[in-house]
């Protein structure tokens, strides 16, 4: 049993049974039976089920909001008016993508043979998700895999399982075979049971880089496909021609959205030395305006951190940090696991606060001299997920973007995403893309059918002049 805690006040909100490890194999077996039926569904049939699911999710907005807000403490309006409609849009996109999943290239590739390239599902996908965006992550895991014709077993994070369980409940009435989307609950032991189960063909995980490694190790014996969306430490590069007020608003939104518990969060802001003082002051003002508060109150910008332990962890990073705390830097008094939005200036590039994923509302500012140094510092962490470049010079913004070792670069903004655009990283941030047609492709394999239609020409019968 896992007792779920509301991070906004520390109260117990629910108790969810953990799936016994020995039951995982049974769940996978049921998924395989469902897969045998679903693999025969036409793209149009798959699309209809996903469209129905999108409607059901939309109609369940109030309940999903209650569950997500109770478990994460994020502001209700952020989820109900932002993340939930986005998840619905994701599902509708995946429905469309199911109908345009094509093998590329076909024809007479060898004399006398017609080649046809066909995309087929992988089989049963085991998906493991984190606690920071529980519902959206469940949709990003299940949506593309189902669209490509797979069965899915999802294991949500132990602290936040209920919106994933609710998604599977809604899916059960969307018209797919029973058992096509199932949920197992619990921690790393249940996750490993899923990863190592011989009936699971592919493993997809969103979580920390350490978890990515553990999952990859677990998948080795079965030589399974792995899809890894891991941590991040996104830099924001502010050049001397950037408009500072807009930059500060955008970078601080990027740093504090979801209380900084976001793999793409802006965490390191590198500023041209000639504007450093003014930019730090603009950032201080913007950070000081961010209001942590009750998730159900209209004026709250951000909620608490996920747990008391995580708040202690974030505070540990801040107290040990190199650099000067410009504002914030302490837990908020009172109930719940709130932390004051924090700006630290002049940190050392090689120090922990710059190199490690803090996963809290903490932004670190560092000056740079020239484009080359900005790029070098931005690339100098183990991660490579997201980044932003702030400049009025389009050529410079593009030039710098091309030199960053990351999955995404925003220019003069930080965070926006779209269902059509692939989301994923490089280096320690893993590989594999969520969202977009690419995600659907990754949950499928290409097969080659080669059909003899005539006697092949004799070898060497055709010699270009
Ligand atoms: P986590 O790595 O602790 O846990 C993620 C999931 O993996 C949970 O369901 C957990 O129970 C499971 N797990 C943990 N150890 C496991 C093991 N050995 N074997 C199998 N499963 C295991 O991550 P978290 O704390 O829940 O989430 C925060 C992390 O997720 C951050 O590092 C963040 O950057 C990352 N994240 C990445 C993305 C992305 O798209 N790249 C998106 C959101 C979150």
Average pLDDT, the chain: 96
Q: What pLDDT sits at residue 199?
A: 98
| Proportion of the chain above pLDDT 90, given as a percent | 95
Whether pLDDT at 202 is above 70: yes
pLDDT of residue 101: 79
Q: Which residues are catalytic?
A: 229
Q: How many residues does the chain have?
A: 465
Mean pLDDT of all residues in 333-362: 97
Q: Is the pLDDT of residue 458 over 90?
A: no
Ligand 1 neighbour 231 (Cβ under 6 A): yes
Q: What pLDDT band is residue 459 in, cutting at 50, 70 and 90? A: confident
Check the CA dihedral 63-190-306-127 and report its sign.
Answer: negative
Instruction: Inform me whether the pLDDT recorded for 464 exceeds 90.
Output: no
CB atoms within 10 A of CB 58: 15
Burial status of residue 452 (CB atoms within 10 A of its CB: 0-12, 13-18, 19 or more): exposed
| pTM (global) more than 0.85 | yes
Q: CA-based diameter of the chain, in Å?
A: 85
Backbone angles phi, psi at 368, to 5 degrees: -135, 160
Report the alpha-carbon distance of residue 458 to residue 451 in Å, rounded: 18
> How does residue 465 score in pLDDT terms, banded at 50, 70 and 90?
low
Atom 42 of ligand 1: nearest residue by CA position: 263
Q: What is the DSSP letter of 17?
A: P
Ligand 1 pocket check: which of 130, 204, 309, 430 to mutate, most ligand atoms within 8 Å of Cβ? Answer: 130
Over residues 126-136, the mean pLDDT reads 98
Q: 37-53, pLDDT tens digit by residue? A: 999 999 999 999 999 99
pLDDT at residue 380, as a whole number: 98
Residue 104 has pLDDT above 70, yes or no: no
What confidence category does residue 59 fall into, taking pLDDT thresholds of 50, 70 and 90? very high
Cβ partners under 8 Å of residue 32, min gap 6: 123, 124, 151, 199
Query: Ligand 1: does its nearest atom lie under 6 Å from the Cβ of 188?
Result: yes
pLDDT value at residue 231: 95
């Amino acid at each position: 049993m896992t007792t779920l805690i509301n991070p906004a006040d520390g109260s117990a909100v629910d108790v969810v049974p953990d799936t016994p490890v020995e039951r995982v194999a049974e769940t996978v077996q049921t998924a395989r039976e469902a897969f045998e039926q679903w693999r025969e569904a036409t793209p149009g049939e798959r699309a209809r089920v996903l469209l129905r699911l999108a409607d059901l999710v939309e109609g369940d907005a109030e309940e999903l909001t209650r569950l997500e807000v109770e478990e994460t403490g994020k502001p209700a309006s952020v989820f109900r008016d932002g993340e939930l409609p986005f998840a619905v849009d994701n599902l509708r996109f995946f429905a469309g993508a199911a109908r345009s999943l094509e093998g590329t290239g076909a024809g007479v590739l060898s004399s006398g043979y017609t080649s046809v390239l066909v995309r087929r599902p992988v089989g049963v996908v085991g998906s493991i998700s984190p606690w920071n965006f529980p519902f959206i992550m469940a949709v990003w895991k299940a949506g593309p895999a189902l669209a490509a014709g797979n069965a899915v077993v999802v294991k949500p994070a132990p602290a936040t399982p209920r919106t994933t369980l609710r998604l599977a409940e809604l899916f059960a009435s969307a018209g797919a075979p029973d058992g096509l989307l199932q949920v197992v609950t619990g921690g790393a032991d249940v996750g490993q049971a899923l990863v190592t189960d011989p009936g699971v063909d592919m493993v997809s995980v969103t979580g920390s880089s350490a978890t990515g490694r553990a999952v990859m190790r677990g998948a080795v014996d079965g030589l399974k496909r792995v899809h890894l969306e891991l941590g991040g430490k996104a830099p924001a590069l502010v050049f001397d021609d950037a408009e500072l007020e807009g930059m500060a608003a955008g970078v601080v939104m990027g740093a504090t959205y979801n209380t900084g518990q976001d793999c793409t969060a802006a965490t390191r802001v590198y500023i041209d030395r000639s504007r450093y003082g003014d930019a730090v002051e603009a950032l201080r003002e913007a950070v000081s305006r961010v209001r942590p508060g009750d998730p159900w109150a209209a004026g709250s910008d951000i909620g608490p951190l996920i747990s008391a332990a995580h708040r202690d962890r974030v505070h540990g990073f801040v107290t040990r940090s190199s650099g000067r705390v410009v504002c914030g830097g302490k837990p908020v008094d009172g109930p719940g696991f709130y932390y004051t939005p924090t700006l630290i200036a002049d940190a050392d590039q090689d120090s922990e606060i710059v190199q490690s994923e803090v996963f809290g509302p903490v932004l670190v500012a560092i000056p740079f001299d020239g484009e080359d140094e900005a790029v070098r510092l931005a690339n100098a962490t183990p991660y490579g997920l997201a980044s932003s470049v702030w400049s009025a010079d389009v050529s410079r913004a593009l030039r710098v973007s091309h030199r960053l070792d990351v999955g995404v670069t925003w220019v003069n903004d930080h965070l926006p995403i779209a269902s059509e655009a692939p989301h994923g990283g490089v280096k320690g941030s893993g590989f594999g893309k969520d969202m977009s047609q690419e995600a659907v492709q990754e949950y499928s394999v290409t097969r080659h059918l080669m059909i003899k239609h005539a006697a092949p020409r004799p070898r060497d019968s055709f010699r270009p002049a």
